[in-house]
Structure 1
């Protein structure tokens, strides 16, 4: 969701609930309550933000500086409130992380970024002086309860028209001690660089691991996103299949698994802006899938620019999360939907791809809550062309046979005369 209103942290306030230090370009942020620490994060972050100028758009890179402080809106939660970590920096900018937890896992449930366009040093020639707030529920930071989330590798989170990139992250919420737990939940990106320990020697022959059964074609689901006044601003009908490579706890090796998204267990949410729209699909507490569509106002064309996934399946040694904000899929025209009945594979990175079936989406220009006329994908056009070509060839063959028959019949009467 994007709002052009002040963020609840109160930017004018710089009271600190804990301490902030910088260690080798990392910022350390702590949220305390009394003498106890409930959230601690050591991380590096940068923000890629696109904004409007008189001559078009401009993108700036803004680092999270060592001068960032913990804002007064930060909280350990309780009484129905979620724990919050809010970092204030620069001239009216803020990064907020809220957390949620169940019996086994905790995660960053919401990421909020606030940036002040009146900061001319950061946003030169900006058309607006608004304070813009964007947020997303698709963050991908998940860890086991009472462990430290660790992710040294860089990972990006798409949020509105901005991208937040984290690296060198060690973080824990719902802490039971004053320091980070020595037990860690390591992100998938870091695991790819870690060699699994060899299994202990065994005197018995282990039974071969069962081969996963292909899930078959998924069922089509219908999803929608409404803006603040209740008007539908994004529509989607599609059947989805996740193809994820992860380290299996039971097999002690990296496996590839294909899993169908189940529409009857999936809820949709998201946000819409004039030039960007987000659809977030959540299946229980195990799978979260986020789509970002961007509109080019010059060409009046839109496409899928970002796709991210968070999966916490039972056989994973750690929750899987990945994202890509530089995609170019599902291209359509403003005021029209995009349709592709054929199976498509949307490659996100080496460990994740998304298979789509019977897809129709419209992230912009919806009229009366209904899909408009569709732009068909090339696959569907090719699939229609094949039967047309085959049909034309068969018709031509029949015509040739008929002509040959008529010519042969005429010649067969040429040697006889009427008496």
Structure 2
């Protein structure tokens, strides 16, 4: 079943339960201390196998859901919301000096539940997961997202749609903070006005291209498993405190201020870049059958001084920077990678290799289409000039031969 059809089914199902859906409350405690508190509404669009193909159902998070036994506090607190016949929603949190985020979002569902999954040809428990949830907030603030936000899990068989979300992790007290980090979907929409008086005021474009930085990720055995060299420019739409309107901010990332880290798995590689104001993570996926990789997800959070609240934007259904295992992907030209409506990433002089790195060096490069086109133009122009010179030379020789033929020796 296509993604568009699954989305349409989800939308139809949403209309059926929207009027009666209510946020479900959860609290994870360690003794008398609360580390996670959440109020949220969620539904799960799940595609599962039947004898003659697949079937899609929409399962709402019921009011009877409870904090499961897998929930815990600590450095990486976890909320496990259990419901029904062996189903659960899992949120694992992590933090740095400024932000906390849902570092791991998972859905565990039991296909042996014939009531929820009729005609299922597989009987057993399935777990679907993503590490690019797009949910993050400043420490000691409540993450708020009242709008509908859909997150596609890694295998594309499960889509989680959240709404009416208020939650906080690493809580200093038992109550949600009155200070809020608001998701992008809740920010005021930009109003399209006549050309003479636009309501969206773009920020000044940086005077120069961003500086090219070098980044890498190492395995637990100390060998480099991901290499990247690139200049990065963020194009973000947000609500400005100083202008009291929606603006477009264009910011160059400075490599000298970026900390980098990540992880490598057989078919997934993640590069995370962080500075005082911005976090961005790149997730690459490898198709082990075709030995091709691509950039499959981008997650960006920013807390710039002029923002009314931190913003978080993510997309886990991308298909950029495609390359072959053991080779690097290169693009000297500027690339504009749309992520969501309010965020695009511009890359300059990019070379990246997320899989099959050997000897801590890039493999042979596969050039992007824009670079190939740029190389083709001089060749075409050169060939045209050479052809023109040849035509002029032939015309000159013919003319000269005719002029000699017009004279006779006396």
Q: What interval of TM-score do these two structures reach, taking the shorter chain for normalisation?
A: 0.7 to 0.9
Q: 2: CA distance between counterparts of 1:355 and 1:44?
A: 35
> Does residue 1:39 correspond to 2:32, yes or no?
no
Task: Note the residue ranges of structure 2 that are not aligned, 5 or more in a row.
Answer: 1-19, 192-200
Contact 2:203 2:249 (8 Å CA) reproduced: no
Report the Cα distance in structure 2 between the residues aligned to 1:314 and 1:31, rounded to whole angstroms: 32
Give the structure 2 partner of residue 29 of structure 1.
Answer: 26
- Report the Cα offset of residue 257 of structure 1: 1.1
- In structure 1, how many angstroms separate the alpha carbons of the residues matched to 2:39 and 2:150? 17
State how far apart, in whole Å, the 2-side matches of 1:242 and 1:24 are.
37
The match for 2:5 is: none
Structure 1, unpaired ranges of 5+: 1-22, 196-208
* Pairing 1:108–2:101 present: yes
In the alignment, structure 1 residue 318 sits paired with structure 2 residue 312: no
Q: 1:173 to 1:111 in 2, by over 3 A?
A: same
Q: Deviations over 1:235-285 (max 9, x none)?
A: 22221111001001111111111111222222333333333x232332224
Normalised to the residue count of structure 2, the TM-score between the two structures is 0.75
Deviations 1:195-226 (A, max 9, x none): 9xxxxxxxxxxxxx995352421122222233
Q: Residues 173, 296 of structure 1: CA spacing in aligned structure 2 closer, same or farther, 3 A cutoff?
A: closer
TM-score (norm 1): 0.74
Greater displacement, 90-99 / 338-347: 90-99
Contact residue 37 and residue 177 of structure 1 kept, 8 A: yes
What's the offset of the Cα at 1:398? Answer: 1.2
2:38, 2:181 → 1: CA distance?
14
Deviations 1:101-148 (Å, cap 9, x if unpaired)?
A: 65xx54226335475899797997779x99979663774321463x43
218, 226, 234: which one aligns with 1:234? 226
Instruction: Tell me which residue corresponds to 1:271.
Output: 263
Which residue of 162, 166, 170 corresponds with 1:170? 166
CA contact (8 A) 1:113 1:133 kept: yes
Residue 241 (structure 2) pairs with residue 244 (structure 1): no
> How far, CA to CA, are the matches of 1:56 and 1:369 in structure 2?
45
1:379–1:314 Cα change, 3 Å:
same
2:13 aligned partner: none
- Rounded to whole Å, the distance in 1 between the matches of 2:71 and 2:59 is 22
Q: Out of 358, 366, 377, which is 1:375 matched to?
A: 366
Residue 101 to residue 409, structure 1, CA distance change in 2 (3 Å): closer
CA distance in 2, matches of 1:259, 1:191: 20
Residue 296 of structure 1: aligned partner: 287
Task: Please say if 1:216 is aligned against 2:211.
Answer: no
Task: Tell me if the contact between 2:134 and 2:313 (Cα under 8 Å) persists in the aligned partners.
Answer: no
RMSD, matched Cα? 3.9
Name 1:149's counterpart in structure 2: 143
Q: Say whether the 8 Å CA contact 1:100–1:108 is kept in structure 2.
A: yes
How far, CA to CA, are the matches of 1:298 and 1:52 in structure 2? 22
Distance in 2 of aligned mates of 1:58 and 1:333: 34
Give 1:386 shift. 0.5
- Match of 1:410, SS? helix
| 1:294 CA drift (Å) | 2.6
Q: Which of the two has greater helix per residue?
A: 2
Count of aligned positions = 376
Pair 173,304 (structure 1): closer, same or farther in 2 beyond 3 Å: closer
Structure-2 separation of matches of 1:47 and 1:26: 15
Hey, what does 2:131 align to over in structure 1?
Answer: 136
